[in-house]
Amino acid sequence: MGRSPCCEKAHTNKGAWTKEEDDRLIAYIRTHGEGCWRSLPKAAGLLRCGKSCRLRWINYLRPDLKRGNFTEEEDELIIKLHSLLGNKWSLIAGRLPGRTDNEIKNYWNTHIRRKLLNRGIDPATHRPVNEPPTNFPTTTTATENNNNNNNNNNNSFLDATTTTISFATTSQTTHHLVKQEVEEETKYNSDGRKIKNRLPEIQERCPDLNLELRISPPHHQNKSSSSSSSSSSSYIHPHVQHENYHNYHHHHRHAVTGGTTICFSCSLGIENSKECSCTASINGTSSSSTGYDFLGLKTGVLDYRSIEMK
């Protein structure tokens, strides 16, 4: 009892798009606008499935796309966002105007991964490659935690809803730095080419600064308000994020950093509810007293309030 299919799969083109196909798609969308990918191919006279048309338009034909090389600032922003969001390329792309998720994903895999490895940082965890395992049972990104939360049963101090987010720095810090030799299997030059005969490289690292945060449920959970999905995991799926943001009045999460409790949502600047007893506030006065710029809000690196939800 469902819909009829959008296209006959046997009669659709595959592979690279021709100039003519591009022109047809552009002309159609200019006239009729985006949307309804289901009916678009037929209406536009294209022998493609709607999915293929959508991908072509979103990733390559949209007029607002910024082509060309990524800037150093974009690189660093992608790294920071990836440390926070994991492989949520669409969310990351939402913070980089003119860039697509596919473009950023490719760029990550071809350039930034290598760049981080050269810095001695594991691109998956954003932690130093040579760092020994922590005492904690889970050291994961926000994304990975979505799958691992059920494995924390043996730790009384960490209940099943505790989330760990790694904020390992990717830029070189000026405080308390030590020199450390890093030997890597492969080195690359600035163009990303492999260097065969390399020497051990000295890299600056900050060994005693643990940027890992643990985010726990609110201390005084309201049973009626904790029944939503956000109570079971700190990972917020893109499709339900918007709804969960509205629940922040009732679901303030607290990061314990060196004995100081900081409310996740207040530190994000989303809201500082009356019920919340944390020391952060939306104008940053309290959080600045802790000397802690959660997610780089004060530096403007990440303004979580302006992330657009799709």
Partner DNA sequence: AATAACTACAACCGCTATTTT
Partner DNA sequence: TAAAATAGCGGTTGTAGTTAT
The tally of CA atoms less than 13 A away on the side-chain side of residue 220 is: 5
Backbone angles phi, psi at 165, to 5 degrees: -120, 125
Out of 29, 80, 84, 103, the only residue in the binding site for DNA (CB under 7 A) is 103
- How far apart CA 47 and CA 125 sit, in angstroms, is 43
Q: Judged by CB under 7 A, which stretch of 2-10, 25-33, 171-179, 204-212 contacts DNA?
A: 2-10
> Should residue 97 be labelled a site residue for DNA when binding is judged by CB under 7 A?
no
Q: Which is nearer to DNA, 5 or 207 (CB)?
A: 5
Q: Judged by CB under 7 A, which stretch of 31-39, 130-138, 255-263, 267-275 contacts DNA?
A: 31-39
Closest approach of DNA to the CB of residue 110, in Å: 3
Give the pairing of strands 121-122 and 127-128.
antiparallel
> Should residue 87 be labelled a site residue for DNA when binding is judged by CB under 7 A?
yes
Dihedral over alpha carbons 216, 80, 173, 73 (to 10 degrees): -160
Q: Which two tokens stand for residue 162?
A: 């505790």
Residue 308 to residues 73, 143, 222, 238, Cα–Cα distance (Å): 20, 19, 29, 10
Q: 124 and 141 in contact (C-beta within 8 Å)?
A: yes
Binding mask 41-80 for DNA (x = CB under 7 A): ---------xxx-xxx--xx--------------------
Out of 155, 159, 160, 194, the only residue in the binding site for DNA (CB under 7 A) is 194
Out of 26, 42, 62, 105, the only residue in the binding site for DNA (CB under 7 A) is 105
> Should residue 106 be labelled a site residue for DNA when binding is judged by CB under 7 A?
yes
- By the 10 Å C-beta count (0-12 exposed, 13-18 middle, 19+ buried), 302 is classed as buried
> Should residue 193 be labelled a site residue for DNA when binding is judged by CB under 7 A?
yes
> Should residue 310 be labelled a site residue for DNA when binding is judged by CB under 7 A?
yes
- Bridge partners of 273? none
Q: What letter does residue 195 receive in the DSSP assignment?
A: E
Which residues from 252-271 bind DNA, rule CB under 7 A? none
Give the binding site for DNA (CB under 7 A). 1-7, 13-17, 35-38, 50-52, 54-56, 59-60, 87-91, 101-103, 105-107, 109-111, 188, 191-194, 196, 237-240, 310
